[in-house]
Chain A
Amino acid sequence: MGTYRMMSRTMPDIVVCVKQTVDVYQLKPHPETLAPQLSQAQWKNSDFDLNAVEEAVRIKEKSGGKVVVVSVGPEVKQLLVRECLAMGADEAYILSDPSLAQADGAATAKALAAVIKTASPKWDIILCGEASLDQNAYQTGPRLAEIFNVPHVSYVNKLEVGDRVLKAWRAVEDGVEVVSCSLPAVVTVGLEINTPRLPSLLMIRAAQKKPLKELSLNDVGLTKDDLMPRAETLEVKALKTERRRQVFEGKVEELAEKLAERIIAHMGGRR
């Protein structure tokens, strides 16, 4: 019994929330209207979320436990979820519903929480990307922590999981803040925390046999009304950047200095 308890304590169950977004690297704004051309874009797993999957798998490789991937959206693509399983996650649950197309941070967190409660109620850590590749709202993680009423640590670029506690290094404005909290907790990670692995052929093939389950709103006890957004998006446009088109001439060493000064001056003199 004692051994069992110890084991169960040191082998965390980790839930990773993964959002599927349009691949912004392939997005080209329409030359005249500047509106992003979504119909031509390809979908991918949001970058930050892949960092979260990688971190979860690394924790599992060190301490054991289980990694569960959860993805919600208007039309979650199984293939992309399989990619997370190929990276080393053990099982996945997805919730696709058209009403999630307009979901804001609140609705998304509500949907994720409902899936987690249904599919993996006994979790120790929820890992999220700190923001998503497409909307950059920085909302999902903190809102999940509120729903579950557990501690939340954001902007993490280094993470250690111990016995019922975690220690996290947070990238904040003027340095690094080291914090620790008890489990269960929600952690959001940034791009610096790790480099997501490329799944090997062996892992890709193994992923085909891992459980991937589709849930409906009904399965997780939600209705369409629960997912109504509170805010409405009126228009989305790309920023138009005007180049300064300044040319510097001279020796490279001097030019570097000159260029640096100009950039600093442009940023209001802050180094």
Chain B
Amino acid sequence: MVFPFSSVFDFAVEMKEEYEIFRKSVRAFAEKEIEPLVKEIERTNTIPPALLKKAAEQGYLGLGIPETYDGQGTDMMYSTLFVEEVSRICPAFTVATLVGVLFTYPVMVYGTEEQKRKYLPPIARGEKFAAHATTEPGAGTDVAGIETTAKRKNGGWEINGRKYFISGADKADYFIVLARTSPPPSRKERHKGLSFFIVERGTPGFRVGEKIEVIGIRGSHPCEVILDNVYVPEENMVGEEGQGFKIAMDTYDHGRIGVAAQAVGVAQACLEKALQYSLQRRVFERPLIYFQAVQFHVSEMLTMLEGARLMLYWATTLANKNRPEAVMAASMAKLYATEVAEKAALKAITVHGGVGVATDGMVERFLRDSQVFKIYEGANDIQKLVILRQMMKTAFGMDVD
């Protein structure tokens, strides 16, 4: 009946009073502090540093980091609700949170105590920012295809290579960088021999290169990162040598829920905007909402949105419980919610007519945002592979990789 799950209890969404208080305060923050600046963020493609400072004061940058490292010690639902509510106003603002997790998660799970003590507290307090550098001009989905190398030298490592599409690189102080530390033993084992290193901005030979303009999430633009004979000491390796691929996959499995949350926030914004406009805009002497075709658009948006939201909260609940099915659920939520965001944006544009395609109408931006959601943290077609493989693995212990 519930295949590939084991019982109806696997479908629980678990909520607490404190989540709702938090959600409401984040909404108030987003509407009061971020919304008045959205036009400027879209125009300048940057987030004002003062805004990040305010978010840090509210404790929003320490989500998911334990209290022992100056974080807020909150569970995944907090992060989900934060990203969803802020994305309803400005998804770019949440990219700092998402890439922060792509740094802090591997350090927290695989790092040494020294690494945790050195790097987590300043990030949790919002004093330092972090980035995650895996993708390269020649390898994105195919993580094992990266060409950046790290070679042993003077008791440490010398890293050479070029990273591309690195979010938050312009602001970041700390980077977690994936490099090849030994050649793959065979073609079948390409994913072996990769390792992660922490590289601090300012290390000789390390440089943040060109900005990459992308169509969506304006306010957050990825950059190129260049590593030219960058020397890091042995203690900067995160996890064991050769464990990099596994750490990368675990990190993305964990972070993916964040993209689903961005997508749900955007779909919510599309619904609200479309509904509001259809109540205000009069055509043929009546508000738009009185026309059945418009009603269909709005009800379809609402249905898809709530479906996506339930998947998001469900995946988050499973992740909170550390359940193995959480990986599959997160992929499903990412796949579905990002496609819902795209469809909702298209419908919102349709309902708005000319205003929908006007670049200062503040509606078309959601369609652009949704395209980015569909690509980063694992393109949607890749999510389909993850879903199937995880399902086979959890249900039958079968590896169809």
Contacts and interface: CB of A to CB of B under 8 A. Distances in A.
Interface of A: 78-79, 82-83, 86, 198-202, 204-205, 207-208
Contacts of B72: 201-202, 205
A198 B20 contact: no
A198 B29 contact: yes
Given A198-B29, A201-B62, A201-B72, A82 B21 contact: yes
B111 interface: no
Q: Is chain A's binding surface mostly helix, strand, loop or mixed?
A: helix
Nearest to A201: B59
Contacts of B32: 198
B5 interface: no
B33 to A, nearest CB: 9
B18 interface: yes
23 contacts: A78-B17, A79-B17, A79-B20, A79-B21, A83-B21, A198-B28, A198-B29, A198-B58, A199-B21, A200-B57, A201-B22, A201-B60, A201-B62, A201-B63, A201-B72, A201-B78, A202-B59, A204-B25, A205-B72, A205-B73, A207-B18, A207-B21, A208-B17
B28 A204 contact: no
B46 to A, nearest CB: 24
Contacts of B73: 205
Nearest to A205: B18
B17 to A, nearest CB: 5
A205 B149 CA distance: 44
A205 B72 CA distance: 9
Contacts of A202: 59, 72
Contacts of A207: 18, 21
A82 B57 CA distance: 20
B156 to A, nearest CB: 38
Nearest to A199: B25
Nearest to B62: A201
A271 to B, nearest CB: 32
B44 interface: no
Nearest to B60: A201
A86 B24 CA distance: 12
Given A198-B29, A205-B72, 20 more contacts: A79-B17, A79-B21, A82-B17, A82-B21, A86-B21, A198-B25, A199-B21, A199-B25, A200-B57, A200-B58, A200-B59, A201-B60, A201-B72, A201-B78, A202-B72, A204-B22, A205-B18, A207-B18, A207-B21, A208-B18
Contacts of A204: 18, 21-22, 25
Q: Which of B18, B29, B78 has the most CB of A within 10 A?
A: B18
A42 to B, nearest CB: 10
Contacts of B58: 198, 200-201
Contacts of A205: 18, 72-74
Nearest to B19: A204
Contacts of B29: 198
Nearest to B32: A198
Nearest to A202: B59
Contacts of A201: 22, 58-60, 62-63, 72, 74, 78
Interface in B5-53: 17-18, 20-22, 24-25, 28-29, 32
A199 B21 CA distance: 9
A79 B21 CA distance: 7
Counting from the closest, the 6 A-B pairs by CB-CB distance are A201-B59, A200-B59, A200-B58, A201-B72, A198-B25, A202-B59
A88 to B, nearest CB: 13
